[in-house]
Amino acid sequence: MSRLSLAWALPLVSFALAMAMAVVFLVVSLVAVEIRSFSDSEREAERLASVVARDMHEGYLASVSDIVSAYAPAEVTVLTANNARAASSTGLITQPVVHTVPIMFEGEQIGRVETSRLVTSGLSIPGWGILLLVVTAGGLAAISGHFFAARVVRSVQQISTVADALRSGDAKAEDLTMDADFTELREMYVSMRRAVGSVRREADELRAEAFTNPISGLPNFSAFMRKLSGRLEQADFDRPAALFCLDLDHFDRACESFGSAVGDVLLLKAISRIQSELDALKVEDVVDTRDYILAQPWSDSLYLIIPNIGGRAQASETARRLRSAFVPHVEACGYEIQLGLSGGIVMIPEDGQATNDLVRRGETALRNVRKDAKKGFRFYAPRMDRIAKGRAQLEADIREAIETGEFHPHFQPKLDLRTGRIKGCEALARWKRPDGRFVAPSAFISVAEETGLIDDIGQIIMREACEAAVGWLKEGHAMSVAVNVSPVQMRNPGFRDLVLDALATSGLPPRFLELEITESLAIEDPQAFKDAVDPLRAMGVRLALDDFGTGHSNLAILSRLNFDVFKIDRQFIQNLERDDSARPIIEMILAMAESLGLETVAEGVETAAHARFLRLRGCTYGQGYLYSPALPSDKFLSYVQDWEARRRQSLVAKAG
């Protein structure tokens, strides 16, 4: 029922009740008439008269008034000479009297019984009066009920208006008052306001907590996204806005070295430097940084939106000034800490308008900074998105290819440069697509490393390489197989078990397995490296330092790490003819290996001249296209068999 119809329902109900009362009254009167009309026969009147006379005779009825109260008015009107007039005037129903029978007692008439045929055709005047009274009272009740109900409805409406306003947080709710004077409703209203007030206070506190970073008090991610959408409406190509996705350089390193408490202080200092620099830019009238919002979406990343920045030039200048605010260092808890600021910049609306896209693009630009230059600022460019999309697609493809078994090792032979015998090979991952094309390792290894998928690929290569080597052993060719291990794999605690499992499953004696490791991991964390490889080395697994000479080799550390082999990177071999510095580097590596008692493998041997040079300088093995590219396991075996056959023939020929 709607509120308005309530105002009518109440009076309608009371009016209906009054009408019902009037009808009942009328019906009762008619029933009385009916009852009285039962005595509508002379015989009945006579019977009653004789019953009255008998009762009086037997002493039951002492006087006429007893007679009247004993019989009247249900069945009969018993009238004495004295009260006849009075009796006829009180009834609702009158005349005509049909029969009159005297009541005789001991020969004397003491009264009479009158019967009347009285089916009423209307009410007597008092009857009408009462009916009118009832109807009027009903009408009055209905009218006053209407006004009463209207007041109730108005009060309830007021309460619900105030409740709506309070619920929706409308500030005007505080000014809305009750003017109805029902005490109960008033009390209800007051307690409702009190309850809503306290709930709202709690909600405000919760919201403040939920939308700000507890340490810095800056808006968090969700608060920033809400504010961002509010600030973007005015941005257009004439008055662009800029979003900066900022990240502190070396922050993690500082937290590791000085502890997270110092990290918190450092972060606050960094935030206040950014804020002061933004204020300075405005005061110096260099960039309009008015109404900027700085937010802390998570840990050490910060988002900054400057609504009226003006253009790219101003955004660049802002980035330059923000970076310079961190030079030379930031002081926290008595430490002088090197910190820096890097970021991705998104111009609005040029680079997009939807808040989610903008933040994602800013993050993409920041990731680009981290990936290439490591620090600094970079504007977002659509090309970055395409690259990111391409990487995401490549990741999905790699995942699927692992499932469908598209990764297998190919094997490239390593030759003993003095004897010309094939001493072993290097297992190189090959990804063969269903259409028969091969994908180069340079195209997928880095993505596989970033996504951790290198663990799965590495496991496949390790298993199949060990199995292949066992197969060759069975054919009478004792050759070692070298497997490349990425630093990502090496850091995985399960790596050692993976190697042990591959050896155990295949049955390959550990001395036929060699692990090729780049120097980065060995030098960055020598202890982790030793922990991972020492148990394997103890079993007889050999260790090769891959790409030697390309990194910032720390010779002191490298000499302590017990490598068995140094692999000279192919760039040095290929530069032999072109670059004068290649020759001394190779000679130095060979000399160093010799002094440490290690074997050496030269990669990328493409010409006989390369081979001769290396052999004369004492390099142990050569690997390269001069001999063979990497081959599938079965082709590799036939290659080895052919090679050995030709070598024997040439030895026989030489001897002959």
- Residues forming the site for ligand C2E (CB under 6 A): 412, 428-429, 440-442, 445, 454, 458, 461, 484-486, 516, 546-547, 570, 603-606, 624-625, 630
Q: Which residue is nearest to ligand C2E (CB)?
A: 624
Q: Quote the least distance from Cβ 580 to ligand C2E, whole Å.
A: 20
From ligand C2E, Ca ion, none, which one binds at residue 486 (CB under 5 to 8 Å depending on kind)?
Answer: ligand C2E
Q: Does residue 519 touch Ca ion according to CB under 5 A?
A: no
Q: Quote the least distance from Cβ 442 to ligand C2E, whole Å.
A: 6
Q: Quote the least distance from Cβ 650 to Ca ion, whole Å.
A: 30
- Tell me the CA distances in angstroms from 650 to 256, 613, 643, one per residue in order: 63, 22, 11
Task: Tell me how far apart the alpha carbons of residues 278 and 287 are, in angstroms, rounded to a whole number.
Answer: 8
Nearer to ligand C2E, 347 or 422 (CB): 422
From Ca ion, ligand C2E, none, which one binds at residue 145 (CB under 5 to 8 Å depending on kind)?
Answer: none
Nearer to ligand C2E, 218 or 582 (CB): 582
Name the segment binding Ca ion (CB under 5 A); options: 48-56, 76-84, 319-327, 481-489.
481-489
Nearer to ligand C2E, 22 or 427 (CB): 427
Per-residue buried b or exposed e for 497-536, using 16+ beta carbons within 10 Å of the residue's own CB: ebbeebbeebebbbebbbbbbbbebbbeeeeebeebbeeb
Name the segment binding Ca ion (CB under 5 A); options: 172-180, 400-408, 477-485, 615-623.
477-485
Q: Which two tokens stand for residue 142?
A: 């209905």
From Ca ion, ligand C2E, none, which one binds at residue 183 (CB under 5 to 8 Å depending on kind)?
Answer: none
From candidates 189, 546, 589, 624, binder to Ca ion by CB under 5 A:
546
Number of residues that bind Ca ion (CB under 5 A): 4
Task: Tell me how far apart the alpha carbons of residues 387 and 382 are, in angstroms, rounded to a whole number.
Answer: 9
Nearer to ligand C2E, 263 or 549 (CB): 549
Q: Quote the least distance from Cβ 402 to Ca ion, whole Å.
A: 21
Per-residue buried b or exposed e for 571-606, using 16+ beta carbons within 10 Å of the residue's own CB: ebbbbbeeeeebeebbeebbebbeeeebbbbbbbbe
- Cis peptide leading into residue 297 (ω within 30°): no
Nearer to ligand C2E, 277 or 547 (CB): 547
From ligand C2E, Ca ion, none, which one binds at residue 428 (CB under 5 to 8 Å depending on kind)?
Answer: ligand C2E
Nearer to ligand C2E, 264 or 606 (CB): 606
Nearer to ligand C2E, 340 or 413 (CB): 413
The residue among 326, 322, 441 whose CA lies nearest residue 377 is 322
Nearer to ligand C2E, 168 or 442 (CB): 442
Nearer to ligand C2E, 266 or 468 (CB): 468
Q: Kindly report the number of other CB atoms within 10 A of residue 288's CB atom.
A: 16
Nearer to ligand C2E, 352 or 458 (CB): 458
Q: Quote the least distance from Cβ 624 to ligand C2E, whole Å.
A: 3
Q: Quote the least distance from Cβ 492 to ligand C2E, whole Å.
A: 12
Task: Tell me how far apart the alpha carbons of residues 145 and 15 are, in angstroms, rounded to a whole number.
Answer: 9
What is the helix, strand, coil percentage profile of the chain, to 5?
A: 55, 20, 25
Beta strand pairing call for 108-116 and 77-79: antiparallel
Nearer to Ca ion, 506 or 623 (CB): 623
Nearer to Ca ion, 406 or 519 (CB): 519
The residue among 449, 525, 463, 517 whose CA lies nearest residue 485 is 517
Residue spans of beta strands (DSSP E) within 86-231: 97-105, 108-116
Q: What is the DSSP string of 289-347?
A: -TT-EEEEEETTEEEEEETT--SHHHHHHHHHHHHHTT-S-EEETTEEE--EEEEEEEE
Q: Quote the least distance from Cβ 550 to Ca ion, whole Å.
A: 8
Q: Quote the least distance from Cβ 285 to Ca ion, whole Å.
A: 56
Beta strand pairing call for 340-348 and 480-485: unpaired
Q: Quote the least distance from Cβ 430 to Ca ion, whole Å.
A: 14
Q: Show Cβ contacts of residue 214 under 8 Å, excluding neighbours closer than 6 positions.
A: none
From Ca ion, ligand C2E, none, which one binds at residue 458 (CB under 5 to 8 Å depending on kind)?
Answer: ligand C2E
Q: Show Cβ contacts of residue 188 under 8 Å, excluding neighbours closer than 6 positions.
A: 159
Q: Show Cβ contacts of residue 571 under 8 Å, excluding neighbours closer than 6 positions.
A: 550, 604
Name the segment binding Ca ion (CB under 5 A); options: 56-64, 121-129, 383-391, 513-521.
513-521
CA atoms lying within 13 Å on the CB side of residue 345: 23
Name the segment binding Ca ion (CB under 5 A); options: 214-222, 460-468, 512-520, 532-540.
512-520
Residues 482-511 that bind Ca ion (CB under 5 A): 484
Q: Quote the least distance from Cβ 385 to ligand C2E, whole Å.
A: 27
* Contact between 531 and 500 (Cβ < 8 Å): no
Q: Quote the least distance from Cβ 457 to ligand C2E, whole Å.
A: 6
Task: Tell me how far apart the alpha carbons of residues 203 and 197 are, in angstroms, rounded to a whole number.
Answer: 10
Name the segment binding Ca ion (CB under 5 A); options: 67-75, 149-157, 173-181, 479-487.
479-487
From candidates 345, 547, 614, 628, binder to Ca ion by CB under 5 A:
547
Task: Tell me how far apart the alpha carbons of residues 297 and 435 are, in angstroms, rounded to a whole number.
Answer: 45
Q: Quote the least distance from Cβ 642 to ligand C2E, whole Å.
A: 19
The 8-class DSSP code of residue 453 comes to: T
From candidates 351, 363, 464, 516, binder to Ca ion by CB under 5 A:
516
Nearer to ligand C2E, 549 or 624 (CB): 624
Nearer to ligand C2E, 247 or 426 (CB): 426
Phi, psi (5° rounding) for residue 193? -60, -40
Residue whose structure tokens are 């023939």 = 649
Q: Quote the least distance from Cβ 454 to ligand C2E, whole Å.
A: 6
Q: Quote the least distance from Cβ 309 to ligand C2E, whole Å.
A: 44
Q: Note the residues at the interface with Ca ion (CB under 5 A).
A: 484, 516, 546-547
